[in-house]
């Protein structure tokens, strides 16, 4: 790993720490030439297999971009989106797999999005779960109502 400050081609590890959930390792490194310190992260590679069969590295930014479209005009800010993407990544990494289908990533987004904003959830679910009739929407809305009632948060009751 070269030094990001002076580009020296070598560096020395001075400290190594595993993340609490064991999914990544943080290393403090020191450059033997300029003596500056920097941190590197090591995580297992997680590939997302798209429907076309092409695989690409998992990216939180792509989650944010995908969900942002569904959140247009909704009271959802960048911070909410960043937290949602983090939850999705933790959920997927928690599966302990090296690759995952793009559809499964979409499904992993549904639950946190449902908690974040129900309208955005319906928009997103309609694309990911291929809603093509009004009945599909009605079923999804009925399910949201049941959740609200189970949580005791239905203002009508």
Q: Which is nearer to Zn ion, 8 or 68 (CB)?
A: 8
Q: Which is nearer to Zn ion, 2 or 145 (CB)?
A: 2
Q: Tell me: does residue 1 bind Zn ion (CB under 5 A).
A: no
Residue 125: which of 101, 144, 99, 97 has the closest Cα?
Answer: 144
Binding Zn ion by CB under 5 A: which of 8, 27, 28, 91?
Answer: 8
Binding to Zn ion (CB under 5 A) within 23-82 occurs at 31, 33-34
Q: Which is nearer to Zn ion, 33 or 129 (CB)?
A: 33
Secondary structure of residue 16 in the 3-state scheme = strand
Closest CB 42 distance from Zn ion, rounded Å: 20
CA atoms of 138 and 156, how far apart (whole Å): 19
Residues contacting 56, CB < 8 A, separation 6+: 47, 48, 50
- Alpha carbon 149 to its chain centroid, in Å, reads 28
Q: Which residues bind Zn ion (CB under 5 A)?
A: 3, 5-6, 8, 31, 33-34
């Amino acid at each position: 790993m070269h030094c990001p400050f002076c580009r020296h081609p070598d560096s020395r590890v001075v400290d190594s720490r595993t993340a609490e959930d064991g999914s990544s390792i943080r290393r403090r490194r020191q450059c033997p030439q300029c003596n500056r310190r920097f941190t590197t992260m090591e995580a297992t590679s997680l590939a997302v297999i798209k429907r076309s069969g092409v695989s690409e590295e998992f990216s939180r930014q792509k989650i944010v971009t995908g969900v942002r479209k569904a959140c247009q005009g909704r009271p959802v800010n960048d911070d909410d989106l960043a937290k949602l993407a983090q939850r999705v990544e933790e959920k997927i990494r928690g599966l302990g797999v090296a690759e995952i289908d793009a559809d499964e990533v979409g499904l992993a987004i549904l639950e946190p999005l449902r908690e974040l904003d129900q309208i955005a959830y319906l928009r997103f679910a309609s694309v990911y779960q291929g809603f093509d009739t009004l009945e599909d929407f009605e079923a999804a809305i009925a399910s949201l109502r049941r959740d609200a009632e189970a949580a005791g948060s239905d203002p009508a009751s």
